[in-house]
C-alpha cells in the first residue's frame, strides 16, 4: 500500500459531539494525487472517530490508530458518522482490526455508520459482520 505523492491533506479534530473543529493541519501521504484526501482520525476513549474519505490514503493512519485499540480484550468503537466515502481499502482496515481484536478476545463495534458505509458493507456482504451501535442522536 503506497501513497505515491505527498500532498497536503487536512487533518481535522473531531470533537465528542462529532463536529469537526479545524484545529490543525498536517501532511499526509495521499492517494493518486488528483485531489488532496481529506480524512480525519481521532482517538477517543475506547476507540476512534473516523471522518471524511476513508480510502487507501487514509488506510495506514486508520490502521495505526486502530492497532493501539485492538491490543486489549475489550470492544473497540469506531465512529463512522461523518464518513463521506469508504472504499475496499477502508473496509479492509476495519476487517483487519476486527480480526486482530477477536484474536485477543475483543471486538470492533461500528457506531452510527453513515449511509455510505452501510451501503458499502451491504454490497460487500459485511453488513452482519460487525456489531453496529446506533447512538440516540442518530434517530433525529
Partner 1 sequence: MMVRRSERLRRAREWARTPVGSVVIGVGGPLLLSVPVVLWLNASPFRPGFLYVAFVAVLAALGGLGCGVVAAVTSVAALWFVSFAPKYSIATRTADDVVSLVLVALSLAAVLVVVRRLDLARLRAARARRESDEGERRERLLLDVASALGSARDRDEVRAMLRNTIVPAASASSVAVLELGDGPGTYGMIAGYDDVVDAGGTYSVGERRTPARVSATTGSPVYLDEPDLGREFPEIARIATRLDEHARAAVPFELLGGRGAVTFGFSQRQAFPEELRRFLETIGLLVGSTLRRIDAVTRSEEHNLAVAFDAMLHGVGLYRAVRDEAGAVVDFEVRHLNRQATELRERLAPADGLAASDGSFPLAGDGGLFEALVEVVESGEPFLRDPWWSPVAGGEPVPFTVQVTKSGPDQVLLVMRDVHAREAQRREREASLVRTARDRALISRLEDALLPDELPALPGHRIRGLYRAAAHEPVGGDWYDAIHLPDGDLALTVGDVAGHGLDATATMVFARSAVRALLADGMAVDEALRRVDAIMASQGAFVTCWVATYSPARSAVTIASAGHPPALLGAAGSVCVLDTPVGPPLGVDAWRRPTATSVDLPDGGVLLAYTDGLVERRTRALDHGIARLVDALTIELDGSAAPDWLDRVVARAIGDDAVGDDLCVLALARGWDFRHPSPPLLGAHDDEGDDAGPGDGPGDAADQARSKLAAIVPPWRKRVRRFPFTS
Does residue number 56 form part of the binding site for partner 1 (CB under 8 A)? Answer: yes
Q: Which residues pair with 109 in a beta bridge?
A: 77
d(C-alpha 89, C-alpha 6), whole Å? 18
- For partner 1, which stretch binds (CB under 8 A), given 6-14, 29-37, 69-77, 131-139? 29-37
Total number of residues binding partner 1 (CB under 8 A)?
Answer: 33
Does residue number 36 form part of the binding site for partner 1 (CB under 8 A)? Answer: no
For the residues of the chain, what is the DSSP string, one character each? ----EEEEEB--EEPTTS-EE----EEEEESSSSS--BEEEEEETTEEEEEEEESHHHHHHHHHHHHHHTTSSSEEEEEEEEEEEE-HHHHHHHHHHHHHHHHTT-EEEEES--HHHHHHHHHTT-TTTS-EE--GGGG-
Least separation, in Å, of the C-beta of 35 and partner 1? 8
Q: Which is nearer to partner 1, 45 or 50 (CB)?
A: 50
Residue with cell 476507540: 47
Task: Find the binder of partner 1 among 68, 102, 104, 131 (CB under 8 A).
Answer: 102
Does residue number 2 form part of the binding site for partner 1 (CB under 8 A)? Answer: yes
- For partner 1, which stretch binds (CB under 8 A), given 8-16, 26-34, 42-50, 62-70? 26-34
Does residue number 60 form part of the binding site for partner 1 (CB under 8 A)? Answer: no
Binding residues (CB under 8 A) for partner 1: these are 1-2, 4, 31-35, 53, 55-56, 59, 85, 87-89, 91-92, 95-96, 99, 102, 115-116, 119-120, 122-126, 128-129
Amino acid at each position: 500500500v503506497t501513497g505515491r505523492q505527498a500532498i497536503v491533506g487536512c487533518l481535522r479534530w473531531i470533537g465528542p459531539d462529532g463536529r469537526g473543529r479545524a484545529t490543525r493541519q498536517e501532511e499526509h501521504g495521499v492517494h493518486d494525487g488528483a485531489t488532496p484526501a481529506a480524512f480525519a482520525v481521532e482517538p477517543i476513549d475506547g476507540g476512534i472517530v473516523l471522518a471524511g474519505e476513508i480510502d487507501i490514503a487514509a488506510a495506514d493512519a486508520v490502521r495505526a490508530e486502530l492497532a493501539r485499540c485492538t491490543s486489549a480484550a475489550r470492544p473497540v468503537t469506531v465512529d463512522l458518522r461523518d464518513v463521506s466515502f469508504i472504499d475496499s481499502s477502508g473496509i479492509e482496515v476495519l476487517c483487519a482490526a476486527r480480526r486482530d481484536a477477536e484474536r485477543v478476545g475483543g471486538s470492533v463495534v461500528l457506531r452510527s455508520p453513515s449511509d455510505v458505509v452501510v451501503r458499502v458493507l451491504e454490497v460487500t456482504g459485511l453488513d452482519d459482520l460487525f456489531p453496529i451501535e446506533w447512538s440516540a442522536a442518530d434517530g433525529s
